[in-house]
Each structure stands twice: as C-alpha cells, then as structure tokens.
Amino acid sequence: MNIIHQIPTILMIIAPILITAIGGMFTERSGVVNIALEGLMGLGACTTACCYTLMEGAGYGRYSLVIALLFGAFIGCLFSVIHATAAIDLKADQTISGTGINLLADGLTIFIAQILFHSDRTREYKLGMLPDKLGLYPTVYISLMVVIIGWYVLFKTPFGMHLRACGEHPAAADSVGINVRKMRYAGVLISGALAGLSGGCIVLTQTIQYTSGTIGGRGFIALAAVSFGRWTPLGVTGAAILFGGMQAMGVIATSFPFLSHIQSEYFNILPYAVTLIALILTSGRDYAPQANGIPYEKGAS
C-alpha cells in the first residue's frame, strides 16, 4: 500500500535519468560516445537554477519554469558543440574531450554561482515545480514525451535512419549521400540539449538550488543505462527505470519497515554493479553500434 504513495517520488527520480539516457542513445547511435553527459547535466542544472531563482526573484511567475528549463537545454546544447567539434571535425579522442567538459563543468558551474550569488551554490528558490492532481511532476510527462518522440524520430523517420546508419557504417552512409558530419553533429547536440534539460528537471523537482553534488553521478548512470539497454529505446527506458528505481529506493527505503535497516549505499551501488555484470555477461556479443566512438575519415577505406 505504502509503495503506491511513493510512485510519484520514484518516477520523479527516474525521469531525469531517462531523459539523459535517451540523449545518450542518440549520440551513440550516431557514432559518437559522449561521456560528458554528467558535466552537461551539471551545466544545464546550474543554468536552470540561476535563471529560475533570478526570474522568481523578479516576479515573473510560473512561466519562468519553462523558460529556465529551455535555457538549461540550450546551454547543454551549446557546450556539447565543443565535444562535437572535437570528436567529429578534429577527430579527437572522445574520452578526453568528454572528460575535459566534465572537469570544466565542475568548475564553471560553481564559478558562476560564486559570481552571481557570492556562495558555492546558487541562491535557493522558493517554489519549484508542483505535482499535478495525480501527484506526478511535470518532468515525468516530459520524460515520457522524450521517449516517445525519441523512438519515433530514431526508428520511423528518414532522419533517424540516416543517423543510425552513421553509427553503424559511416562509409556506407556517406556513399549513398548521407552527410555523416551533419548527422553526428545532430546526435551530439541532441544529447547535449537533453542532458541540459534533465539537469534542469533535477534542480526544479529534487532540490532547491544547484550545488556541486546535485548531479552526483546520474550522468554516468544514464551512460550505463544506454549500454545496459542495448541502444534501443525500449531497452534504454527499461534500464533507466531499473537504475532510477534503485536510486529512488535509496531515498525512500527508510519509509518501509522491511527495507529501513538496509543502508542507502547498497541501493546506490546496484546500478553500477549491475551494469558491470551485464557487460561481462554480454561480452563477445556486440550490441553496440559498430562505428561507435570511431571518428569517420572521409576517403579512407
């Protein structure tokens, strides 16, 4: 009975992981690994927190929620351009540029908070997103929309097919006139925007300000969900629900008598351990997009 009451909380925690994971699926399907998701989420979260607390202070009302989220998505998208340029145009090591963005995001977000609010966190806002009559937060609907649109775009439109082709066999895609560079840019930018958006969702539902611990590894959980979900919308959604659910259990376990003696750390470990075990079990069989993480050189056979 009690667990029914906790469903909105669980969904609230799942939603941002799901949004980021769908973005991660897009970028990896196009052939670029983006381990900067964590940092991009942080940048989006910080932007949303700053925008919202400033606009709320200026008295712009509830519309500022939407504007703040859009700003977060925009900044996430903007910073993913760095990764896209490095990975696609300059054929850089994608792990290095992703790590660089993660490090940069750590510094930049708190730096901005220091400049704007003279503190190592953004100013707390008063009223975040509110649940609807069912008790569900709007972010849950956003994540649902992202999944459905993501599935439709990736598997039911020419754009999606082209994008997937670039991740499987870029040379073949190129030979039939698909612009590999453009498609991969699209994949990375989509992942950046969605990561920024989901960062904003975290700030507006789960906390009241941005601090250096707001994201706390969720970007990496999303990354794990992409590979655990075998790069398909359904799989990724399932993985995100599983991992997000485990995270949620860590938060809500205290309200169940039979779980309360289990420390939340056990639940926190689970997503990572499960992914690791899954990677070992599925080793040898490759579900990943064939050209994932390999820069495409035009003209090279």
Partner 1 sequence: MQNENNDSFVDRILESEVMTSILVVILGFLCGTLIIIAVGKNPSDMFGSIFDSMIGIPKRKGGWNYRYIGETLAYSMPFILCGLSMGLPARVGLFNIGAEGQYIMGMTAAQSVALWMSPFGGQWILCLLVAVLAGAIWGGIVGVLKAKYNVSEVVATIMMNYIALYGSRLICFTQPGATTYNTAALPQTVLLDKFLIKTSNFNIGVFFVLIAVLSYWFVMNKTRLGYMMRATGYNKNTAKCCGISTIKSITTSMAMAGAFAGLAGALVLLGGAFPIGRIITGMDNYGFMGIAVSLVGNNTAIGNLLAGLLFGVLKQSQSLMQGRNIPKEITYIIQGLIVIFISLRSGLVLYKQYRNKKKLKKEVLANK
Task: Report the interface residues with partner 1, using CB under 8 A.
Answer: 33, 35, 82, 85-86, 89-93, 95-97, 99-108, 110-111, 114-115, 212-213, 216-217, 220, 223-224, 227, 263, 265-266, 268-269, 272-273, 275-276, 279-280, 283-284
Q: Is the CB of 14 or the CB of 140 nearer to partner 1?
A: 14
Q: Is the CB of 126 or the CB of 285 nearer to partner 1?
A: 285
Q: Is the CB of 160 or the CB of 219 nearer to partner 1?
A: 219
Compute the least distance from the CB of residue 140 to partner 1, in Å: 25
Closest by alpha carbon to 228, among 238, 218, 219?
A: 238
Residue 72 one-letter amino acid: G
Write the DSSP symbol of residue 76.
H
DSSP letters for 67-93: HHHHHHHHHHHHHHHHHHIIIIIS---
With vertex at residue 142, the alpha carbon angle to CA 33 and CA 225, rounded to the nearest 5 degrees, is 35
Q: Is the CB of 103 or the CB of 130 nearer to partner 1?
A: 103
Rounded-to-integer distance, Cα 241 and Cα 271, Å: 11
Q: Is the CB of 65 or the CB of 86 nearer to partner 1?
A: 86
With vertex at residue 101, the alpha carbon angle to CA 171 and CA 16, rounded to the nearest 5 degrees, is 90
Compute the least distance from the CB of residue 88 to partner 1, in Å: 11
Compute the least distance from the CB of residue 235 to partner 1, in Å: 16
Compute the least distance from the CB of residue 94 to partner 1, in Å: 8
Rounded-to-integer distance, Cα 116 and Cα 97, Å: 28
Compute the least distance from the CB of residue 139 to partner 1, in Å: 23
Interacting residues of 162 by C-beta distance below 8 A, sequence separation 6+: 173, 178, 183
What is the residue whose two structure tokens read 């940048």?
43
Compute the least distance from the CB of residue 243 to partner 1, in Å: 11
Closest by alpha carbon to 130, among 23, 205, 228?
A: 205
Closest by alpha carbon to 32, among 222, 301, 300, 289?
A: 289
Q: Is the CB of 99 or the CB of 207 nearer to partner 1?
A: 99
